[in-house]
Amino acid sequence: MLWLKGFCMGAADIIPGVSGGTIALIMGIYESLLKAIKSIDDQFLGNLIRLRWPEAIAKSHLKFLIILGTGILCALFSLARVIHYFLDHHKTQTAALFLGLIAASIFFVAKLVPRWTAARLLAFLFGTLGAYWLVGLIPVQTPDELWFVFVCGVIAICAMILPGISGAFLLLILGKYAYLTAVLKNPFSWSNIQVIAVFSSGAAVGLAGFSRVLSYFLQRYHHVTMAVLTGLMAGSLRKIWPWKQVLESTMIRGKTYILSEKNIWPADYDQVFWVSCFLFCVGIVAVVMLERSASLDR
């Protein structure tokens, strides 16, 4: 089950606008994930270097991280082509499915805040406005050098463990989403292995630092932090809305990149509209089932 939850997180992380952190929250493993990441500390690394492996394993959540991480990596490598196909050929329907997933997730995550005081409502509003602004940023063109790939790893992994903010979308803003997903399609060439290794190193650095920040706030200000995380998910709905009008785009190396767009209501109630509505409902039902499964595990 833990491997499957990791697989679902990895599948979500491929989609620009969807966060693996959201899936972790729905499935009831979010705080366990942060604690597990936090357990990889200086003492753990020191025991590894001194070849004290039993002590290193005993004082870390290594089993949890290996099983979950394997599921995430399997999804990233196996679903990259599938997700790209659906985003290229059935973008509206795919977005509708994830809109249902996230909309239902907001309800269940909001239930983790026992009482909505004025401070928690303000925290929710802060998270909502912050995510709404962030997902409206225009993608930029950036260098392909390895140092920048490392920086992208640091930034993207922070977003991937934040519900509502997609690491894939931040890579899109940083101009590296298409570049890195192309690398994942052919991961065994030497140049691509280098890129994956550098990006993974940046992700490891970002994860080690940012997980501690989140853990601190969850321990000291749990309900306010959960309110902010709920707001981040609500604000991200701006990016997931299936029907959009492109305002500005550009061609780069033969591929069209959208610079700005706005959300619209569909003009025609055609087959795509009704299929999208059905998939929206499927997304809601899937979250309800996941939440019930997580409740049974807890």
Phi, psi for 228 (deg, rounded to 5): -65, -45
Helical packing angle, 62-89 and 2-14, nearest 10°: 40
Neighbour-count burial of 252, counting CB atoms closer than 10 A to its CB (0-12 exposed, 13-18 middle, 19+ buried): exposed
Of 198, 221, 253, 240, the closest CA to residue 92 belongs to: 240
Cβ contact 132:249 at 8 Å: no
Tens digit of each residue's pLDDT (9 = 90 or more) over 110-120 = 887 888 899 99
Query: Using only C-alpha atoms, what is the Rg of the chain?
Result: 19
Instruction: Residue 18: count other Cβ atoms within 10 Å of its Cβ.
Output: 28
What is the predicted pLDDT for the residue at 5? Answer: 87
Cβ contact 171:124 at 8 Å: no
Tens digit of each residue's pLDDT (9 = 90 or more) over 32-76 = 888 888 777 777 777 677 777 677 676 677 888 889 989 988 988
What is the predicted pLDDT for the residue at 251? Answer: 64
pLDDT over 70 (residue 140): no
Instruction: Residue 65: count other Cβ atoms within 10 Å of its Cβ.
Output: 16
| Domain residue ranges of the chain, discontinuous segments joined by + | 2-297
Least confident of 104-118, 125-139, 244-258: 244-258
Cβ contact 157:202 at 8 Å: yes
Helical packing angle, 62-89 and 177-185, nearest 10°: 110
3-state DSSP of 145-214: CHHHHHHHHHHHHHHHCCCCCCHHHHHHHCCCHHHHHHHHHCCCCHHHHHHHHHHHHHHHHHHHHHHHHH
**Measured between alpha carbons, how far is 104 from 288 in angstroms, rounded to an integer?**
8
Tens digit of each residue's pLDDT (9 = 90 or more) over 147-184 = 899 988 888 888 777 776 667 767 877 778 778 877 87
3-state DSSP of 89-132: HCHHHHHHHHHHHHHHHHHHHHCCCCCCCHHHHHHHHHHHHHHH
- What pLDDT band is residue 297 in, cutting at 50, 70 and 90? low
Tens digit of each residue's pLDDT (9 = 90 or more) over 210-231 = 878 888 888 888 889 889 888 8
pTM above 0.75, yes or no: no
Phi, psi for 245 (deg, rounded to 5): -115, 125
